[in-house]
Chains A and B, each alone.
Chain A
Amino acid sequence: SQTIHQWPATLVQPVGSPLSLECTVEGTSNPNLYWYRQAAGRGLQLLFYSVGIGQISSEVPQNLSASRPQDRQFILSSKKLLLSDSGFYLCAWSVWGVGEGRETQYFGPGTRLLVL
């Protein structure tokens, strides 16, 4: 069966510090991978998605970046965190390909980030 891992679970960082969040998926090959952010009391905002190694699409302009160095590894980074970067960061995966039944996304446990 497929599993998705995220770490760390919680993180408190000062403004201006760097960030690296990691997500790994097991039990599947060539997954589509996604990074979302959920601010307090708000909906999920898609930040990045990837359909393969080294292929990253950015959905919103921001000071965050994403990388996919391996098939089942997705990393979210920032060189300098802002207060507004605080939130709940969720990684998700879906089966490779497009079409009915392939859009379902499965989420990792998330990383709660607080920038002070």
Chain B
Amino acid sequence: RKEVEQDPGPFNVPEGATVAFNCTYSNSASQSFFWYRQDCRKEPKLLMSVYSSGNEDGRFTAQLNRASQYISLLIRDSKLSDSATYLCVVPTGGGNKLTFGTGTQLKVEL
């Protein structure tokens, strides 16, 4: 299994839809997880951190399933501005190193 694996998409959804992305990871010892958002030709920006079973911030919910080693990101009431690539990120290798998934592309359409 790859260290971090994501469905590349693209996910094309209408405005107002609910969409969910999954991410699997291989290091069962990982304790914290992150979702970053990356707009086209821009740097990644932190969206959410997940340290326990999950985290919720407005329309965004991240859930962690340690037994199955996957993390999900749920976006409710999608906006056009949510169109971006969402990166699943897991600390690996000790220290403060992170391993980034290749990202899931979301396109929200009118």
Contact = CB atoms under 8 A, between A and B. Distances in A.
A66 interface: no
B57 interface: no
Interface stretch (A12-20, A74-82, A99-107): A99-107
Q: Which of A43, A46, A101, A103 has the most chain B CB within a 10 Å cutoff?
A: A103
Nearest to B95: A98
Interface string B16-50: 00000000000000011010000001111110010
Contact of A49 (B42, B46, B97, B102): B97
A110 B43 contact: yes
A51 B44 CA distance: 21
B49 A104 contact: yes
Contacts, number: 54
A43 to B, nearest CB: 4
A104 B46 contact: yes
B88 to A, nearest CB: 10
A94 B43 contact: no
Contacts of A104: 34, 46, 49
A14 B43 CA distance: 25
A51 B95 CA distance: 9
A87 interface: no
Nearest to A32: B96
A49 B98 CA distance: 11
Given A107-B43, A109-B43, A110-B43, A100 B51 contact: yes
Interface of B: 31-32, 34, 41-46, 49, 51, 87, 91, 94-103
